[in-house]
Protein backbone atom coordinates (compact mmCIF):
# COMPACT_ATOMS: atom_id res chain seq x y z
CA UNK A 1 0.00 0.00 0.00
CA UNK A 2 1.34 3.42 -0.93
CA UNK A 3 0.99 6.28 1.48
CA UNK A 4 -0.90 9.23 0.08
CA UNK A 5 -0.88 12.93 0.77
CA UNK A 6 -2.85 13.74 3.91
CA UNK A 7 -2.19 10.38 5.59
CA UNK A 8 -0.15 9.90 8.73
CA UNK A 9 3.33 8.68 7.81
CA UNK A 10 4.25 5.18 8.95
CA UNK A 11 6.61 5.37 11.90
CA UNK A 12 9.89 3.49 11.69
CA UNK A 13 13.06 2.93 13.63
CA UNK A 14 16.17 2.02 11.63
CA UNK A 15 19.91 2.03 12.16
CA UNK A 16 21.95 4.78 10.52
CA UNK A 17 25.41 4.36 9.01
CA UNK A 18 26.95 4.65 12.50
CA UNK A 19 24.77 1.95 14.09
CA UNK A 20 22.55 4.47 15.92
CA UNK A 21 18.78 4.00 15.98
CA UNK A 22 16.82 6.77 14.27
CA UNK A 23 13.03 6.93 14.46
CA UNK A 24 10.64 9.09 12.50
CA UNK A 25 8.67 9.70 15.71
CA UNK A 26 11.66 11.42 17.32
CA UNK A 27 11.15 14.40 14.97
CA UNK A 28 7.39 14.74 15.57
CA UNK A 29 6.52 18.22 16.79
CA UNK A 30 10.14 19.32 16.24
CA UNK A 31 11.00 19.13 12.53
CA UNK A 32 9.54 18.48 9.13
CA UNK A 33 11.16 15.39 7.60
CA UNK A 34 12.17 14.50 4.06
CA UNK A 35 12.17 10.71 3.78
CA UNK A 36 14.00 9.70 0.64
CA UNK A 37 14.14 6.06 -0.48
CA UNK A 38 16.84 5.05 -2.95
CA UNK A 39 17.62 1.68 -4.59
CA UNK A 40 21.32 1.03 -3.90
CA UNK A 41 24.41 2.59 -2.38
CA UNK A 42 27.16 3.28 -4.91
CA UNK A 43 24.86 3.10 -7.95
CA UNK A 44 25.10 5.91 -10.50
CA UNK A 45 21.74 7.69 -10.24
CA UNK A 46 21.54 7.23 -6.45
CA UNK A 47 25.01 8.68 -5.97
CA UNK A 48 24.16 11.65 -8.19
CA UNK A 49 20.92 12.36 -6.33
CA UNK A 50 22.48 12.10 -2.87
CA UNK A 51 25.48 14.23 -3.93
CA UNK A 52 23.06 16.94 -5.08
CA UNK A 53 21.49 16.88 -1.61
CA UNK A 54 24.92 16.88 0.05
CA UNK A 55 25.96 19.90 -2.01
CA UNK A 56 22.82 21.87 -0.98
CA UNK A 57 22.29 20.26 2.42
CA UNK A 58 21.12 23.39 4.25
CA UNK A 59 17.92 23.32 2.17
CA UNK A 60 17.12 19.78 3.34
CA UNK A 61 18.61 19.60 6.82
CA UNK A 62 18.40 22.60 9.12
CA UNK A 63 16.61 23.82 12.24
CA UNK A 64 13.18 23.01 10.74
CA UNK A 65 13.87 20.09 8.36
CA UNK A 66 15.58 16.70 8.71
CA UNK A 67 16.70 14.57 5.77
CA UNK A 68 16.54 10.77 6.16
CA UNK A 69 17.78 8.68 3.21
CA UNK A 70 16.79 5.00 3.24
CA UNK A 71 17.84 1.97 1.21
CA UNK A 72 17.77 -1.79 1.76
CA UNK A 73 21.58 -1.90 1.94
CA UNK A 74 23.22 -3.01 5.18
CA UNK A 75 24.42 -0.50 7.76
CA UNK A 76 28.00 -1.35 6.77
CA UNK A 77 27.37 -0.54 3.10
CA UNK A 78 25.67 2.69 4.17
CA UNK A 79 28.72 3.65 6.24
CA UNK A 80 31.14 2.96 3.37
CA UNK A 81 28.90 4.92 0.98
CA UNK A 82 28.61 7.90 3.37
CA UNK A 83 32.35 7.95 4.03
CA UNK A 84 33.23 7.67 0.34
CA UNK A 85 30.85 10.46 -0.75
CA UNK A 86 31.08 12.72 2.32
CA UNK A 87 27.42 12.41 3.33
CA UNK A 88 26.79 13.84 6.80
CA UNK A 89 23.03 13.22 6.82
CA UNK A 90 21.59 9.91 8.06
CA UNK A 91 21.64 6.96 5.66
CA UNK A 92 19.25 4.44 7.16
CA UNK A 93 19.36 0.70 6.61
CA UNK A 94 16.07 -1.04 5.76
CA UNK A 95 18.01 -4.28 5.51
CA UNK A 96 16.18 -6.48 8.04
CA UNK A 97 13.45 -7.39 8.03
CA UNK A 98 14.32 -6.81 4.40
CA UNK A 99 12.51 -3.78 3.02
CA UNK A 100 9.89 -3.59 5.79
CA UNK A 101 9.86 0.22 5.89
CA UNK A 102 10.00 0.49 2.09
CA UNK A 103 6.98 -1.84 1.96
CA UNK A 104 5.07 0.26 4.50
CA UNK A 105 5.61 3.34 2.28
CA UNK A 106 4.63 1.44 -0.87
CA UNK A 107 8.00 1.79 -2.61
CA UNK A 108 9.47 -1.73 -2.30
CA UNK A 109 10.24 -3.51 -5.57
CA UNK A 110 9.58 -7.20 -4.81
CA UNK A 111 11.18 -8.40 -8.06
CA UNK A 112 14.50 -6.69 -7.41
CA UNK A 113 14.51 -6.70 -3.59
CA UNK A 114 15.09 -2.96 -3.32
CA UNK A 115 13.32 0.32 -2.75
CA UNK A 116 12.14 2.39 -5.69
CA UNK A 117 12.90 6.11 -5.71
CA UNK A 118 10.28 7.53 -3.38
CA UNK A 119 10.38 10.87 -1.60
CA UNK A 120 7.94 11.88 1.12
CA UNK A 121 7.80 15.30 2.76
CA UNK A 122 6.29 14.88 6.21
CA UNK A 123 5.23 17.81 8.37
CA UNK A 124 5.90 18.25 12.09
CA UNK A 125 2.57 16.59 12.90
CA UNK A 126 3.64 13.44 11.02
CA UNK A 127 1.35 13.97 8.00
CA UNK A 128 2.53 13.30 4.43
CA UNK A 129 2.31 16.68 2.64
CA UNK A 130 4.06 15.82 -0.64
CA UNK A 131 5.38 12.75 -2.38
CA UNK A 132 6.87 11.50 -5.61
CA UNK A 133 7.64 7.91 -6.60
CA UNK A 134 9.90 7.21 -9.55
CA UNK A 135 11.09 3.95 -11.06
CA UNK A 136 14.64 2.71 -10.59
CA UNK A 137 16.12 4.49 -13.61
CA UNK A 138 14.25 7.79 -13.22
CA UNK A 139 16.11 10.47 -11.27
CA UNK A 140 14.15 12.91 -9.11
CA UNK A 141 14.19 16.68 -9.44
CA UNK A 142 15.66 18.26 -6.29
CA UNK A 143 13.85 21.54 -7.02
CA UNK A 144 10.53 19.73 -6.57
CA UNK A 145 11.23 18.82 -2.96
CA UNK A 146 12.65 22.24 -2.24
CA UNK A 147 9.30 23.70 -3.34
CA UNK A 148 7.41 21.16 -1.21
CA UNK A 149 9.48 22.04 1.87
CA UNK A 150 8.97 25.76 1.26
CA UNK A 151 5.20 25.21 1.12
CA UNK A 152 5.10 23.79 4.68
Residues tagged active-site: 46
Cα 45–70–106 angle (5° rounding)? 95
Q: What is the dihedral of CA 132, 74, 84, 145, to 10 degrees?
A: 10
| 66 burial via Cβ count (<10 Å: 0-12, 13-18, 19+) | buried
Other CB atoms within 10 Å distance of the CB of residue 139: 13
Amino acid sequence: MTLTIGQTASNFELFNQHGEKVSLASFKGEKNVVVLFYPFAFSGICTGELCALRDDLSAFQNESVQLLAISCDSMFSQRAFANHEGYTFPLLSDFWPHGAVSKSYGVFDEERGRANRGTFVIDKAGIVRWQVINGGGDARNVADYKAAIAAL
